[in-house]
């Protein structure tokens, strides 16, 4: 495969709700959501949980702290944006990072307002958002939009079932498909048509599997799904490989190993995502 058609995914954070690093989460990771995609020469990031700090450190040390990328948010709950103020390339005014959000329709704040008046604002955070705004542009969009980025990257979007809204992504490049469906809660009587649209025939599906079926009744309405539902979606959508994602903070490595065994028995192509892993599509 030539570099111009290379499609890779790196998981910088796999945990949901709150970071929980420690001896019990070494294998599957304790940082919250952050993805890095390389589509030929184009870099696409998804979400800015605590995992994005480590990516920023790598860019600072190896690439002169200069970044040209698109950063798409699934939504702006804290675990998906809390790493943004610690993402070093944003403090270089020569960087060019386009920030996109498609879940905010009908919400009082736009993306720039959330970052500037809620996240990076006294007394919540001491560093003002003005220090990153020279490197950033803020682009709100209506969920359902299709992006055609230079270099042959197509990104399709669809709404997910999550409190305050969330946006799922289907990234198509060089004949391969990556679907990102987090955070989302399944429906009891039918599979989510939006999730099936995003996941259809995907090479890799990243699916919100915070809970087990046994745990789910205690968290109904919280906006998350189960590994059992991931299996159903994977079968129905003919997904080649599914990564269980948004690991619950209470699920340590031992619990995740148990889930991995159970999921593999149901469908061998379904397994938990591991922080730090790189996958070539």
| 110-124 pLDDT per residue, tens | 999 999 999 999 999
pLDDT at 29 over 70: yes
Residue 109: pLDDT band (50, 70, 90) is confident
Residue 105: pLDDT band (50, 70, 90) is confident
Of residues 109 and 77, more confidently modeled = 77
pLDDT at 54 over 90: yes
Residue 93: pLDDT band (50, 70, 90) is very high
Residue 2: pLDDT band (50, 70, 90) is low
Average pLDDT on 83-103 reads: 98
Q: Where are the domains of the chain?
A: 3-273
What tens digit of pLDDT does each residue of 125-168 get?
A: 999 999 999 999 999 999 999 999 999 999 999 999 999 999 99
Neighbours of 220 (CB within 10 A): 11
Neighbours of 260 (CB within 10 A): 18
Percent of the chain, pLDDT > 90?
Answer: 96
Superfamily of domain 3-273: Ribonuclease Z/Hydroxyacylglutathione hydrolase-like (3.60.15.10)
């Amino acid at each position: 495969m030539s570099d111009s058609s290379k499609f890779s995914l790196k998981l910088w954070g796999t945990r949901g709700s709150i970071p929980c690093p420690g001896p019990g989460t070494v294998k599957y990771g304790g940082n919250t959501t952050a993805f890095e995609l390389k589509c030929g020469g184009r870099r696409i990031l998804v979400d800015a949980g605590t995992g994005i700090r480590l990516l920023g450190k790598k860019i600072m040390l190896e690439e002169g702290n200069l970044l040209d990328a698109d950063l798409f948010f699934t939504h702006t709950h804290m675990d998906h944006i809390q790493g943004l103020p610690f993402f070093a390339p944003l403090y270089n005014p020569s960087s060019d990072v386009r920030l996109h959000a498609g879940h905010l329709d009908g919400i009082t704040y736009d993306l720039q307002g959330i970052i500037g008046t809620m996240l990076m604002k006294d007394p919540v955070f001491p560093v003002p958002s003005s220090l990153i705004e020279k490197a950033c542009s803020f682009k709100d969009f209506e969920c359902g939009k299709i992006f055609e980025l230079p270099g042959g990257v197509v990104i399709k979007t669809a709404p997910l079932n999550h409190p305050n809204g969330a946006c799922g992504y289907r990234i198509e490049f060089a004949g391969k498909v990556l679907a990102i469906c987090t955070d989302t809660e399944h429906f009891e009587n039918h599979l989510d048509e939006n999730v099936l649209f995003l996941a259809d025939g995907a090479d890799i599906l990243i699916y919100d599997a915070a809970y087990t079926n046994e745990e789910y009744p205690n968290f109904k309405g919280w906006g998350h799904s189960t590994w059992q539902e991931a299996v159903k979606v994977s079968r129905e959508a003919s997904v080649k490989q599914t990564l269980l994602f948004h690991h619950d903070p209470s699920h340590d490595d031992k619990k995740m190993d148990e889930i991995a065994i159970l999921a593999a028995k149901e469908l061998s192509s379904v397994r938990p995502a591991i922080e730090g892993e790189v996958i070539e599509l």
